[in-house]
Amino acid sequence: MSRHFGLLAALLAAPVFAQELLPPSPVDLVRGLREGGMADLGLEYLADLAKVASPEVAKVLPLERAKCRLDMARTESDDTLRAALVSEAKREFDAFVKGNSGHPRLPEAAVALAQLQTLEGKGQLQRAARLPTEQQAGEMAKARPLFESAGKQYAAAAEVLKKLADQEEPNSAKGREYATNYLQALLDQGMNTFFLAESYGEEPRGKDTDSKVKAAKDAAFVFDALWSRSKDTPQGWAARAWSAESFREQFEPNKADAALKVVVDEAAKARTPASAAGAKVARFFQLRADYVKNGHAQAASADRLRVRSTCQGWLREFATPPTAEVYAVRYYLGRVCLNEGLKRENLNVEQVKPKDPKEKPEEKVVGVKDSGVQMLREADAQFKILVRTENEYTDRATRQRPLALRWLVGNPNRPPAQFPTFDDCYTAALVQ
C-alpha cells in the first residue's frame, strides 16, 4: 500500500467530522493532484484506488490515468519518454471510449485526445527547432497534419459539450462542469490553431506567409468569439490575451503590444480571479517579446536588467503551479542573468603577450568580479530547477548551466580533496 493510499484510508477511518474534509470523490482528489503539478502522484494513487474502487469509479479510471499521463507528457523533455506517455495515454483514452458508450464524460475524453495531438505537434516543432536552420521548415511542416486533425476534434467535442451544457440547469453541478469544459475546448481549439500558425516559422516565404497569417486570424476568430460569450471566466480572459498575441503571428507586433497592454490594464482594474488568468497570459507574452528583443548578450545592460526584473516579478506572482510558462520564464531569467554576469565589465581580464612581438596582445578571461558572480549564481539557481525537473527547457538549461558553473567553482581540474563539499565536486565534474 502506497503512502498516498494509506493516508486516504486513514482519513476514511476517521470520525465523520474528519471525513467532511475529504474531496467529494476520489476523482476530485486526482484532479487536484494534476492541477497542482503532481500528475505522477495522481497516477500512483489511481493504481491503489483500482484495487478498491466501486464499479462506477472503476469505469473512469482509464480516463483518469490517461489524463495523468497527458499532463506528464506535457512536461517530459525526452522525446522517447514523451512518445511512450502519449502512446499509453491514447491506449487508455481509447479503452474508456470503447468501453463506456453513452458515458457523460466521453466528450471530455474527445478533448483530451485532441490535446494529445496538439502535444505531438508541439513536440515536432521543438524537434525541428533543434535542427540546422536550413532543415527546420521541412520538419515543422510535419506538425501541421497533427494540428489540423486536432482542430477538427476540438470543434466536434465543443459542439457536443455545448449541447450537454444547454440540457442542464445552468447552476447545477453538471451544468457548470459541461459549460467549463466547453469553454476550455474552445480555448484549446484557438491555441491549437495558433500553434499551427507558428509551424510556418518566423520568416516564411511565398504561400507559407499567407498560410501563417490565415491560421493566426483563424485563431483570433476563435479567441474573440470565446471572449465575447464568456467575459467573466478565466477561459474568456485567457482567450483575450491569446487573441492579442495573434497579431504578432500576423507580422503586426505593434498591434500585439498595444492589445496586450489593454488586457493587462483592464485586468488590473477588474481585479477578479477570472481577469487574473488573462493578466498572467498577457504579461507572459509581453515578457517573452521583451526577452527576445533585449535579453541577449548584445543588448544594453539596462535593458537586460529590466527583463530580469520583469521575470522576477512574474515568477513572484505565478510560479505555482508549475506550468509551461513558468518553466519558460525561469529559462529566460537564467539566460538574462548569465548574459549580464558575463558582460565585459564583470570579467577579470589579463593581457597575454604574443610570441611574435609584432602581434597585438591577446586578452584572457581569468575570473569574474563579485558583481558578475551574483548574476551567475542567480542564473545557476534557475537552470538547476529546470535541470532537475522534466520540462520543455530541461535540455537547454543543461547546456547553459556549465557556462555559469565554470566561473562559480573556480579551477574545475584541481584534486577532489580541495573541494569543500561534495556538491562543489559534482559541480566541477559537470563543468569538465
Interval 50-76 mean pLDDT: 90
* Average of per-residue pLDDT values in the chain: 88
Concatenate the DSSP letters of all residues of 60-114 into one string.
HHHHHHHHHHHHHHHH---HHHHHHHHHHHHHHHHHHHHH-TT-TTHHHHHHHHH
Interval 84-109 mean pLDDT: 90
Who has greater pLDDT, 115 or 349? 115
The mean-pLDDT minimum among 16-25, 42-51, 367-376 falls in 16-25
Lookup: cell for 22: 475529504
Taking the C-alpha atoms of residue 274 and residue 267, their distance in angstroms, rounded to an integer, is 9
What is the predicted pLDDT for the residue at 77? 76
Q: What percent of the chain has pLDDT over 70?
A: 89
Q: What percent of the chain has pLDDT over 90?
A: 63
- Whole-angstrom CA distances from 356 to 223, 350, 351 are 66, 18, 14
For the chain, the distance separating the N- and C-terminal CA atoms, rounded to the nearest angstrom, is 43
Who has greater pLDDT, 134 or 362? 134
Cα 123 off chain centre by: 12
User: With bands split at pLDDT 50, 70 and 90, how would you rate the model's confidence at 25?
Assistant: confident
Interval 247-261 mean pLDDT: 97
Who has greater pLDDT, 70 or 18? 70
Taking 90 as the threshold, does the pLDDT of residue 26 lie above it?
no
Taking the C-alpha atoms of residue 138 and residue 422, their distance in angstroms, rounded to an integer, is 46
User: With bands split at pLDDT 50, 70 and 90, how would you rate the model's confidence at 23?
Assistant: very low
Lookup: cell for 393: 527547457
Taking 60 as the threshold, does the pLDDT of residue 81 lie above it?
yes
Interval 350-369 mean pLDDT: 80
User: With bands split at pLDDT 50, 70 and 90, how would you rate the model's confidence at 212?
Assistant: very high
Taking the C-alpha atoms of residue 208 and residue 55, their distance in angstroms, rounded to an integer, is 52
What is the predicted pLDDT for the residue at 130? 86
Taking 80 as the threshold, does the pLDDT of residue 414 lie above it?
no
**CB-count burial class (<10 Å; 0-12, 13-18, 19+) for 17:** exposed
Indicate the pTM of the whole model.
0.84
User: With bands split at pLDDT 50, 70 and 90, how would you rate the model's confidence at 430?
Assistant: low
Lookup: cell for 217: 486570424
